[in-house]
Amino acid sequence: MQRGIVYGLAILCLGCFSVSRAGNLEKKMQRLIEKLKTDLKDDCSSIRDEVANLRDDVSNLRDGECADRDNIFELKESLVELRDLLKELPCDNNVSEQSATEDCNRQSDGVQRILPKIGKPFLARCEAGWLIIGHRYDGSVDFNKVWESYKLGFGKVWKEHFIGFENILSVLQQKEYKARFDLTTWENETKYAEYQIFDFNDRKDKYRISIGGYNGTAGDAMQDANHNQFSTKDSRNDNFGGSCILSFGGPYWYGACLGAGGSIFGMYSKSPKCPSISSCLTWQEWPKKLPGVDHNGDYSFKEVKFKIRPI
């Protein structure tokens, strides 16, 4: 009996010990599970961060590819322009003076190397014997530039451009030239104004213009410019204390500050309506009322060419 009691107590103690160990084991398991949960949460957060970083890298890569594609596209356009220009240039245009010409008289259409008797050689576009000194047609070049730009020229001769007063003067010193303006409306009507008298004084006299002897179909819009000095936003030479260009916003031979009667130098508007009177590509003496405006000075032309050729 005593032995049975002893066995019973031993079994009871063993059961209590087993229960105690099981409780400790359960607590340890619970702590381990909690730790695994915490570690898993941290890992998930890290994975999400890595995924977000990967998405940013992919986005940046795509942006870089787009930029590269844009750069490649611009490069292709430039190469096409260069190819077209090389087609128009004389074959011997790099050094030989024999390949150059003093103006566009009797020259084929396209870009030619002009070598005046006095002055430096320059490139210009020839068209039916006319030397184009300025061309506007799409607004890709801002013409509201400083004095130095007008002195030397700007733009590309096969696009919108002005060849520069110094280049024009070097040509005009060779012989007598006439000038012509070709103007095209947004309704695709083209008229011209031709002037048998055309000359500039030098830069000391601010490129004062002499222009007269009009004939043509567009009307004489340059009469008010005759004998006036040229003005830009940084060199104001009108007869009203330099206020004209501030009022009308574009380079011109301003006199009595009545606006630019006819100019290729004003703002290019993408429509016939000029935001401010006489500040766009204007030709106020157009022989009939231009459509969509109250006054012809409110109209902005689609295209203007300014060119010269020997008389």
Residue bearing the bigger pLDDT, 162 or 92:
162
List the single range of 11-15, 136-140, 146-150 with lowest mean pLDDT. 11-15
The string of pLDDT tens digits covering residues 264-294 is 899 999 999 999 888 899 999 999 999 999 9
pLDDT bracket for residue 188 (50, 70, 90)? very high
pLDDT bracket for residue 166 (50, 70, 90)? very high
Residue bearing the bigger pLDDT, 20 or 190:
190
Work out the average pLDDT over 57-75: 62
pLDDT bracket for residue 116 (50, 70, 90)? very high
Q: What is the pLDDT of residue 58?
A: 58
- Domain limits, the chain: 1-88, 100-310
pLDDT bracket for residue 204 (50, 70, 90)? very high
Q: What is the pLDDT of residue 91?
A: 44
pLDDT bracket for residue 73 (50, 70, 90)? low
List the single range of 17-31, 122-136, 170-184 with lowest mean pLDDT. 17-31
Note the pTM of the prediction, 2 decimals: 0.71
Domain range 100-310, its CATH number among 3.40.50.11030, 2.40.10.10, 3.90.215.10, 3.40.1080.10: 3.90.215.10
Contact 177, 308 (CB under 8 A): yes
Q: What is the pLDDT of residue 193?
A: 98
